[in-house]
Amino acid sequence: MVIMADIIIGFILMIPIYGVLIWSYFCPKESMLWGKRWMYKEEPEISSGAIQYVKFASLASIIIMTFIFIILIVTQT
């Protein structure tokens, strides 16, 4: 039962990471410039390849994290 509590706490702590990944998927330009906008005088032009990479990496991370949590839950019951 203690291990199940650890899984639940881990999931609760991973919610902000899910939020950032979902935000990165739907707003890849904004997420790429997050914290770096001050370095540019004008709005930089981001390539379509970079946008596709961010969307793919975000989606892949969401899927992998979900599978890890499902596997942890299934193996504990």
Tens digits of per-residue pLDDT, 12-32?
989 999 999 999 999 998 888
Q: Which residue has the higher pLDDT, 34 or 77?
A: 34
CB atoms within 10 A of CB 13: 9
Tokens of 6: 């650890």
Q: Which residue has the higher pLDDT, 69 or 63?
A: 63
Any idea which residue has 């390849």 for tokens?
Answer: 49
- 61-to-7, 12, 15, 70 alpha-carbon distances in Å: 18, 17, 13, 14
Interacting residues of 4 by C-beta distance below 8 A, sequence separation 6+:
73, 76, 77
Q: Tell me the per-residue pLDDT of 35-57, one tens digit each, with 9 for 90 and over.
A: 777 787 888 888 899 999 999 99
pTM reported for the whole predicted model: 0.80
Q: Chain-centre distance of CA 21, in angstroms?
A: 2
Asked if residue 54 lies in contact with residue 24, where contact means CB atoms within 8 angstroms, the answer is yes
The pLDDT value recorded for residue 10 is 82
Any idea which residue has 């949590």 for tokens?
Answer: 69
